Amino acid sequence: MKIALAQINSRVGDLARNERLHREAISSARECGAELVLFPELSILGYPPRDLVERHGVAEACAAIAERLARDVPDSMLVLAGLPILAKGRPLRNALAILRGGRIEGFAEKQLLPSYDVFDEDRHFAPGTKTVVIDHRGERIAALLCEDLWQSGDARAIRCYARDPLADARANGASIIAVASASPFVAGKDAVHTAILATRARSVGAWIASVNAVGGQDDLVFDGGSRMVSADGERVGGCARFAEDFVVVDTADARPRSGASECETISPDLDTERFHACVLGTRDYLAKSGHSSAILGLSGGIDSALVAAIAAAAIGAEHVTGILMPSRYSSAGSIQDAVASVRALGLGRMETLAIDTMHTAIESTVAGVFATEGLAGENLQSRARGLLVMLASNATGALVLTTGNKSEFATGYTTLYGDMNGGLAPIGDLYKTEVYSMARMLNVRYSEFGFARPPIPEASISKAPSAELRPDQTDQDSLPAYETLDAILRVLVDGEGSLDEAVRASEAPSELVAHVARLLDRAQFKRDQAAVILKLSPRAFGRGRRYPIAAGSGR
**Residue 169: pLDDT over 90:** yes
Do 513 and 442 fall into the same domain?
A: no
**Residue 4: pLDDT over 50:** yes
**Residue 491: pLDDT over 90:** yes
- Catalytic (active site) residue 146: yes
pLDDT in tens, 297-306: 999 999 999 9
Q: Please, is 495 exposed, middle or buried when counting C-beta atoms within 10 Å of its C-beta (0-12, 13-18, 19+)? A: middle
pLDDT, mean of residues 212-216: 98
Q: Distance between CA 48 and CA 547 in Å, rounded?
A: 21
Q: Distance between CA 406 and CA 336 in Å, rounded?
A: 26
Q: Distance between CA 226 and CA 212 in Å, rounded?
A: 5
Do 110 and 41 fall into the same domain?
A: yes
Q: How many independent structural domains does the chain possess? A: 3
Do 344 and 245 fall into the same domain?
A: no
Structural domain that includes position 493: 480-522
Residue 549 covered by a domain: no
CATH of the domain at 285: 3.40.50.620
pLDDT at res. 260? 39
Do 420 and 489 fall into the same domain?
A: no
Q: Distance between CA 438 and CA 455 in Å, rounded?
A: 11
Residue 209, helix vs strand vs coil: strand
State which of 257, 286, 306 marks the end of a domain.
257
Q: Give the residues across from 321 on adjacent strands.
A: 295, 349
Residue 85 covered by a domain: yes
- Order the strands of the 132-136 sheet from edge to edge: 132-136, 139-145, 176-181, 207-212, 227-229, 235-238
Residue 266 covered by a domain: no
% of the chain residues with pLDDT over 70: 95
Prediction pTM value: 0.94
Task: State the catalytic residue, choosing from 41, 273, 378, 408.
Answer: 41
pLDDT at res. 158? 65
Residue 263 covered by a domain: no
State which of 211, 234, 257 marks the end of a domain.
257
**Which is nearest to 85 in space by CA: 115, 49, 133, 120?**
49
**Residue 395: pLDDT over 90:** yes
Do 40 and 30 fall into the same domain?
A: yes
Do 252 and 396 fall into the same domain?
A: no
pLDDT in tens, 514-547: 999 999 999 999 999 999 999 999 999 999 898 9
Residue 138 covered by a domain: yes
Do 99 and 234 fall into the same domain?
A: yes
How many of the other CB atoms lie within 10 Å of CB of 376?
A: 11
Do 422 and 515 fall into the same domain?
A: no
Task: State the catalytic residue, choosing from 2, 121, 146, 434.
Answer: 146
Do 502 and 421 fall into the same domain?
A: no
CATH of the domain at 66: 3.60.110.10
Do 450 and 512 fall into the same domain?
A: no
Do 192 and 253 fall into the same domain?
A: yes
pLDDT in tens, 405-451: 999 999 999 999 999 999 999 999 999 999 999 999 999 999 999 99
pLDDT, mean of residues 498-506: 96
Residue 438 covered by a domain: yes
pLDDT in tens, 250-296: 998 877 654 334 445 566 799 999 999 999 999 999 999 999 999 99
Task: State the catalytic residue, choosing from 2, 35, 109, 110.
Answer: 110
% of the chain residues with pLDDT over 90: 84
Inter-residue contact 110 to 93 (CB < 8 Å): yes
Do 78 and 226 fall into the same domain?
A: yes
pLDDT at res. 472? 67
Q: Distance between CA 328 and CA 333 in Å, rounded?
A: 13
Q: Identity (one letter) of the amino acid at 255?
A: R
Q: Distance between CA 89 and CA 100 in Å, rounded?
A: 28
How high does pLDDT run on average in the chain?
93
- Catalytic (active site) residue 189: no
Residue 214 covered by a domain: yes
- Catalytic (active site) residue 41: yes
Residue 229 covered by a domain: yes
Q: Distance between CA 103 and CA 73 in Å, rounded?
A: 8
Residue 29, helix vs strand vs coil: helix
State which of 193, 224, 257 marks the end of a domain.
257
